[in-house]
Amino acid sequence: MKIEIEKTKNGWQHYKITNDNGMRVSLLNFGGIITEILVPNRKGRFENVVLGFKNIADYEQNPNYFGAIVGRVAGRIQDATFTLNDETYSLESNEGSHHLHGGPGGFHQVIWDVATFQTADTVGVKLTHSSEDGVGGYPGNLNATVTYTLTNHNELIIDYSATTDKTTALTMTNHSYFNLSGNLAETIQNHIVTMDSDEFVELDEELIPTGKKIDVTDTPFDFRHGRKISDGIHSTYEQNLIATNGYDHYFLFNQNDDEKIRVKDQTSGRIMTVKTNQPGVVMYTSTNLDEGLELAERKSERYLGVCFETQGSPASLHHEGFPSVILKADETYEKQTVFSFKIED
C-alpha cells in the first residue's frame, strides 16, 4: 500500500494511492476528481481506464465533468426549480433553462479538505466539504463527505455521507468516464454491458424526464443479458436518437441482486463490476463529449468513455414514483458504490 501526494502547478493536491497489486487511483482535492485508474489487462499490463486531461490545469473548467464528484444533485433539474414544503427554490440554470450537476458552483468546482488513511489491506482518502445554505439556490447548510477506498481486491469503494440542518435536495455521484480498452486504445462501442434493470426513464428532446418509465423488453435498453453499447449508438429507436445516438438515461435497478452492472472489454480482458445501494444509474455514452480535447493518451472524441452515475432520480422533484433525492434535517445521507476490476477467466 502506498500514498503519494504531489502539489500541482496551480496549487492543488494530487493524490496517488496504490494497492499491493499495483492498481493505482489518482485524484485531486479540486472537485474530488479521479484523474487516472491503472489496472492490468489479461497480459498483466497496467493501463489507464478512465478519461483524464493531459494538463492538470484543464480540470479548472472541465465542462464534461471528467472524474468529478457531482452534487448537490447529479443530473438535470427541470426548469432549475423545485418545491419543498410549499416553498419553491430557484437554482442556477447552466443547461438552457435547466440545472445540471449542481450548477456552475457545484461540488466539481470546489476544493475539498482531504485526509489520507491506510490499513493492512486498504488505502484511501477522505474528502469533506461544507456547502452553505443558499449556495446555488439550494436550502440548508450541508456537510458532505466522500471517501475513496482502494482495496487489495482491486476494488474502488466510494462512500458518500451528508447531513443538513434544513430539508434539501441531494444525490451525489462520481462522473468518471470508463474505457476498459486501456489508455484509450479504442472507443467503448464494443464494451459489453450487463445491467440488472427492467425499466428506464423516458426523456424529452431536452433530455428532461417526462415522468414515464419504459419497459426495456424488446428495446436497445435491455441489458439484462448483456449487449454491446454500439447497439444503441446505431439504433433508430427514438430514445437513442434523443440522446444523440446513444444513451444518457436513468435505469432503475431491480432490487434483487448485489451486483448491478458488469462491463467487459473482450480485447483487453478487463471486466468491471458495479455494486451500489443507490436505486438507479445514469448510463452516459459520451455522445456529447467535446472533440479534440488534449487527454492524457490522445485527443477526445465521441464514445470514448462511458459513465455509470449511480444516484437517485432528479425526476422525483417533479413526478411521482421515482427514487427520492430529498434529505431531511434529521437524516443522514449514506450511499456507497463499489467499482471492482478483474480479468476474464
User: What pLDDT, in 10s, does the model give residues 107-164?
Assistant: 999 999 999 999 999 999 999 999 999 999 999 999 999 999 999 999 999 999 999 9
Phi/psi at 107 (nearest 5 deg)?
Answer: -60, -20
158: left (phi over 0), alpha (psi -120 to 50) or beta: beta
The ranges of the chain with pLDDT < 70 are: none
Beta pairing partners, 201: 213
What would the pLDDT profile of 317-331 be if each residue is shown by its tens digit? 999 999 999 999 999
Query: What is the per-residue pLDDT for 255?
Result: 86
Contact 72, 109 (CB under 8 A): no
Q: How many CB atoms lie within 10 A of CB 17?
A: 25
- According to DSSP, the residues that pair with 214 across neighbouring strands are 200
Whether 233 and 303 have beta carbons less than 8 Å apart is answered as yes
User: What does the alpha-carbon distance between residue 202 and residue 313 come to, in Å, rounded to a whole number?
Assistant: 12
Q: How many helices (H) and strands (E) does the chain have?
A: 2, 28
Give the pLDDT of residue 304.
98
Contact 176, 36 (CB under 8 A): no
pLDDT of residue 258: 83
Nearest to 71 by CA among 333, 305, 250: 333
**What is the rounded CA–CA span in Å between residue 223 and residue 203?**
18
pLDDT reported for residue 152: 98
User: Fold for domain 2-183+279-343?
Assistant: Beta-galactosidase; Chain A, domain 5 (2.70.98)
Q: d(Cα 336, Cα 81) in Å, to the nearest integer? A: 27
The structural domains of the chain, with segments of one domain joined by +, span 2-183+279-343
C-alpha cell at 286: 459520451
The one catalytic residue among 98, 129, 175, 191? 175
Residue 139 backbone phi and psi in degrees, to 5: -80, 155
Between CA 67 and CA 246 the distance in angstroms is: 20
- In the DSSP assignment, the letter for residue 1 is -
Its pTM surpasses 0.85:
yes
| φ, ψ at 312 (rounded to 5°) | -80, -175
Active-site residue flag, 175 = yes
Residue 92 is among the residues annotated as catalytic for this protein? no
Q: Which three three-digit cell numbers place residue 276? A: 451500489
Catalytic residue among 47, 199, 202, 309: 309
* Cα–Cα dist 25/110, whole Å: 20
